[in-house]
Amino acid sequence: MKKLLILPVLALGLASCAPLQGQKPMIYQGKASDVLAAITQIAPTVQASRNHNFYSVIEATPTQVTLQADARPGFVALGANVPIRVTFTALESGTTTVVTHAVRTEVQPNLYSPPIANIYAELGKRFTMVP
């Protein structure tokens, strides 16, 4: 019986480690390299959460930029001491670039949607969005 009681807790814990489900890609006029460069400029101005620092770029490739925000010192709540990682992927097709992202964290990924939306909003100011 005790084993059955632990199962829901275990399932909940594993579900919180999963990345966000599929996102609708954003499409912009412009080159992938320009969009990714803009993300690297915008990221340090966006705080991941009130318990985490601002994003910084930890890895960049020709098609991806990975951002990370570390937990702020002194914050000790369960799970909040883990960093938040967001990987933006930009794939160019003709004169447009398709941008998606994936959040990797051990705490609830949906909590970080507003800061990520801020990054997309800033991209929308710099590039023309394609419907």
- 100 φ, ψ (degrees, to nearest 5): -130, 170
Task: Average the pLDDT over 78-107 and give the result.
Answer: 87
Three-state DSSP class for 78?
Answer: coil
**59 vs 28: CA distance, rounded Å:** 22
Q: Supply 61's token pair.
A: 């490739």
- 23 φ, ψ (degrees, to nearest 5): -110, 150
Could you tell me which of 92, 69, 67 has the C-alpha nearest to residue 80?
69
Superfamily of domain 2-126: START domain (3.30.530.20)
What is the share, in percent, of the chain residues with pLDDT greater than 90? 56
Three-state DSSP class for 76?
Answer: coil
Q: Write down the domain spans for the chain.
A: 2-126
Could you tell me which of 26, 12, 40 has the C-alpha nearest to residue 99?
26
pTM: 0.78
**123 vs 98: CA distance, rounded Å:** 12
pLDDT tens digits, 31-63: 999 999 999 999 999 998 888 899 999 999 999
User: Is the confidence at residue 107, as pLDDT, over 70?
Assistant: no
